């Protein structure tokens, strides 16, 4: 979650004078950060639930193999959800008013980064934490 919020904040800071619309850190930006964190939490819970389910069902296989299978099974759902959300946000960004562009821009960045971190960063951390836990299941 911290990763997602920092990336959005960092890009806001880097693009402050470059973008033709307001990138002020105001109430809308705070709402966007909180929305991104909530989206990321939800996505991470879905991925972790699938990993937990697969770890319970495949007890004899190494952790890394089971986590890889779990990520592969949830990847389609995660990508469909994210791309659908990004498509709607892109339409709002292109056709919405000037006052909402900064908010939607933060959401566009955050949804992309949140999906990436849920699937690739968080699950890799779980795989690393489980490496030395059970020597019989390590690859």
Assign 20 to helix, strand or coil: coil
Looking up tokens 């959401």 gives 107
Query: Tell me, what's the pLDDT at 21?
Result: 78
Residues 76-133: tens digit of each pLDDT: 999 999 999 999 999 999 999 888 998 999 999 999 999 999 999 999 999 898 887 7
Looking up tokens 């779980």 gives 126
CA distances to 56, 59, 72, 119, 120 from 66, in Å: 10, 9, 10, 14, 15
Q: Which CATH number fits domain 23-133: 1.20.1640.10, 3.40.1260.10, 3.40.50.720, 2.40.50.140?
A: 1.20.1640.10
């Amino acid at each position: 979650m911290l990763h997602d919020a920092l990336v959005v904040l960092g890009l806001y800071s880097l693009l402050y004078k470059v973008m033709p619309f307001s990138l002020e850190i105001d109430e809308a930006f705070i709402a966007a950060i909180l929305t991104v964190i909530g989206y990321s939490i939800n996505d991470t819970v879905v991925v972790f639930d699938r990993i937990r389910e697969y770890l319970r069902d495949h007890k004899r296989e190494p952790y890394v193999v089971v986590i890889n299978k779990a990520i592969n099974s949830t990847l389609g759902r995660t990508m469909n959800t994210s791309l659908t959300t990004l498509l709607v946000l892109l339409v709002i960004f292109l056709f919405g008013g000037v006052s909402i562009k900064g908010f939607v821009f933060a959401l566009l960045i955050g949804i992309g980064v949140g999906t990436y971190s849920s699937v690739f960063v968080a699950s890799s951390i779980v795989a690393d934490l489980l490496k030395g836990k059970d020597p019989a299941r390590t690859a």
